[in-house]
Structures are given as structure tokens and as C-alpha cells.
Amino acid sequence: MDSILVRGGAELSGDIPIAGAKNACLTLMPATLLSEEPLTLTNAPRLSDIRTMTELLASLGAEVTQLQDGQVLAMSSHDIHNRTADYDIVRKMRASILVLGPLLARCGEAKVSLPGGCAIGARPVDLHLRGLEALGARLDLKDGYVHASAPGGLKGAEIAFPLVSVGATENVLMAAVLAKGTTVLRNAAREPEIVDLAHCLRKMGARIEGEGTPDITVEGVDRLHGATHPVVPDRIELGTYMLAPAIAGGTVECLGGRLDLVAAFAEKLAEAGIDVEETPRGLKVARRNGRVRAVDVETAPFPGFPTDLQAQMMALMCTAEGVSVLEETIFENRFMHAPELMRMGADIDVAGGTATVTGVGRLKGAPVMATDLRASVSLILAGLAAEGETRVNRVYHLDRGYEHVVRKLSGVGASIERVHGE
Ligand code: UD1
């Protein structure tokens, strides 16, 4: 198996281009199922999760053609000949559940394997299912699959989510655009990926208002048409690379980065003593003097501090001056990077959803591994700041969510290489 070898200590300087958002692309792709006409996405990231979604859509009968080295996805769902999302694909990627709403809305039925638990928690899909039921779907859970049907079509309804869920908001929103009448989603997620999805659906002819607020209103239409849509920049990749000069020292300009996508995170960086500046090309981040200061962080749905940047922020706090308290409020088991960071000399105390990190100044390189995407990249960041060599194993997690991580970081002067395993 491949691993990534990082030699710490190099100051960083230069540009890192930010790709289109993985999580936005994973919800925009199933939107192709809503229309017989083509949907083309530009600025798509080149990632294994995108290949998994391509495989899933193809298994349903959609055609997905990669153009311009995978940055353009030309999709057509003229003929949907299969309405079953198979266990073998869904188990690889939880976001597969996002085909449920569109398939049901377009075909009147769908059978989708239920995603199991995952490394960062139980992650149920009950809110997706309750939302679709509210739109009139009949659901039957059998043999690990959800069988959904709406023979007479879906009907608009008012749905109040008991907690904020990005995936449930996306699934129900996609179903509602073809439902009869008005749907109101209350306590909807406000993430930029939801806003991007709403923009794309509107280009396809959907009638949506209120995206980016907790209340989204949808007037159902009979059919959607084709469209071309650029995927919003990846705020998590952006935040990750903003942390690279923060932890290693130096200055990096993240090309295409936007402050509105990472405002709460950027505020914390500023509090820690990092300079963040908007430029015509993106965001410039610099650590000019000494150690960063410890700051406390609590994860929250957007516009709060993203859970997907908690592991990377913890890596920075391991090197900070003082004690920082990190509270994870979204997922119940999202500190698996802590013991790995401790193998690198970090001082971390985890109790339930709270991690208390006492900064140690310099970390020490070590062989490490992680069980999820963001945890893996936090170890790479830690390696940039560590004395000696850090070998990050289980690189396939990174391939799911970070395109060209080695090229991007070595391009700004990091000593990092991919070692091909047997
Ligand atoms: C999405 C992102 C993921 C990010 C997360 C939170 C994608 C592909 N993934 O995941 O990277 O970490 O948002 O920002 O976009 N929940 C329920 N029942 C449900 C659905 C969710 O209890 O039916 C709970 C979850 O277990 C979790 C919380 O709600 O505790 C938020 O999860 P959710 O926002 O749905 O995350 P995802 O959409 O799975």
C-alpha cells in the first residue's frame, strides 16, 4: 500500500490552487438524475469519491463523460434503466445515499442500500428518510435496503428538521423540486454546498428560494432541463492548505480561495496570530513571527467552525503556545487523529467530545496512520512541522478527498513524496 513521506522543517512559499468542492460535486452529480437533458459540471475535483459516484450513476443508466482531464463532467440521464443503488457501491461511500431523492422524484421508485456506520460515528440517515416520507414517499426497510415508492408522485410539504443535516437537506431538496406544490424546509443546512446545489437546480429550471438560510422554499415544477454549472471551491481543501504555512511557517496564497467560505475558521486563525488577507487571486496566509497562540474551537454547522477542519486545526494547536480546548459537536467519534498525533509527541487529553491540547512547540516525526480523510491530512500537516520524518500510511483516505496533495505541497517547498508500496 502507498504511503506519504514528509520531512518537516521547510518554510513554505508560493501558490496552491484550490479545486472544486468534493462535497458539492457529490451532491451536484446525482442532480443529473432529475432531468432527461444533459447536466455539465465544470471545476470538478479529480478524486476517488468522484469516480465512485460516477460508477454509481453509470450503474443506474446515466452517462458520465470526463473531459479536460476530469475537470469537466458531462452527464446525461436520458434513460434510467436501473433504480437500485447496490450495496457494493454504497458501502464504499456514504454520499451514495444522495441518489435516493432524485431517483424517487424522477422515477417514482428507488431502492438504495443503507450506508452502515462509519469510522467517525454511527451516522444514521433517518432524517433523509423522514423528509422523503413527509413528501409522500412510502418506505420499506428490507435486507439492508430502503425501498422507496411514490406511485402518484411526491407532494410538497412543510418539513422541520430536528437537527441540521447537510445530506438530508440535499436529498429532500432534490426530491422537492419535482414534487407537486410547495415544500418548506425548516432548520435546513446552510452550507455553501447547499447554496451551490440550489444555484445549479435553479439553472435547471427549479424554483427555490432561501438557500443559505434555515428556511428553504421550493415550488415544484413538472420537469427540469439541462444546464452547465461550475462547482464551488472546496472550503475544506482551502482551510487545510491555509493551515500549511500556519504550521510550517512562511506564506502561501490559496488561489481561488474565498473568505466567505471559511469566515469562522479564518477568524480562529487570526486569533492564533496568523495573517489572512484577501487578494485578487484568492487568500494569502502567512505566519510571520514565532509560535502560534492556543485558541479554543467548537465545531458547529455552517456558518460555524466546520467539523471537517477540526483534525487539521488540532495539528496546529499541538504546536501552539498554551492550552486549547477543541469541542466536537457534530460527530461522536471524531478524535482518532489524537492518538496518532500523540505518537508524534503531542500532549492531548480526550474526554468525550472534548480534546484538551497543550502545545509542545516542536512535534517529532513518526510512522502514523488514520482511519478517515481529514484525520489523514492532519497528520501530513503535523509532519510539515515535525522534526525528522513522518510516514503517513493508508493513503487511500487522502485520495478520496485531496487531489495532488503531494504536488500541491511540494510546489510551495514542502519536502513530501508518495512512496509506492508493494
Ligand atoms: C456532510 C459532509 C461531511 C461533513 C458533514 C458535516 C458530504 C458528502 N459530507 O456529511 O464531510 O463532515 O456534512 O458538516 O457532504 N444525522 C442524523 N440523521 C440523519 C443525518 C444526519 O442523526 O439522517 C446526524 C449525523 O450523524 C451527524 C449530524 O447529523 O451527527 C450531521 O450530519 P450531516 O450534516 O448529515 O452530515 P453528512 O451530510 O453525512
Q: What is the pLDDT of residue 189?
A: 98
Protein residue whose Cα sits closest to atom 24 of ligand 1: 123
Please tell me the distance from the alpha carbon of residue 218 to that of residue 226, in angstroms, as a whole number: 19
Q: What is the pLDDT of residue 371?
A: 81
What's the 3-state SS for 214-257? CCEEEECCCCCCCEEEECCECHHHHHHHHHHHHHHCEEEEEECC
8 Å CB contact between 392 and 6: yes
Protein residue whose Cα sits closest to atom 17 of ligand 1: 124
Closest atom of ligand 1 relative to the 374 alpha carbon: 11
| Prediction pTM value | 0.97
The residues, ordered by sequence, that sit 6+ positions from 11 with a Cβ below 8 Å of its Cβ are 248, 249, 250, 413
**Pick the catalytic residue: 25, 107, 118, 318?**
118
Q: What is the pLDDT of residue 289?
A: 76
Give the model confidence (pLDDT) of 332-343 as tens digits: 889 999 999 999
Closest atom of ligand 1 relative to the 49 alpha carbon: 8
Low-confidence ranges of the chain (pLDDT < 50): none
Please tell me the distance from the alpha carbon of residue 380 to that of residue 252, in angstroms, as a whole number: 16
Q: Is the CB of 130 under 6 A from ligand 1?
A: no
372: helix, strand or coil: coil
Q: What is the pLDDT of residue 122?
A: 64
Strands (E), 270-366: 275-279, 282-287, 297-298, 323-327, 347-351, 354-358
Q: Is the CB of 120 under 6 A from ligand 1?
A: no
- Check if 118 is active-site: yes
Closest atom of ligand 1 relative to the 170 alpha carbon: 38
Q: What is the pLDDT of residue 290?
A: 84
Residue type, 2: D
Give the model confidence (pLDDT) of 259-297 as tens digits: 999 999 999 999 999 999 999 999 999 998 788 999 999
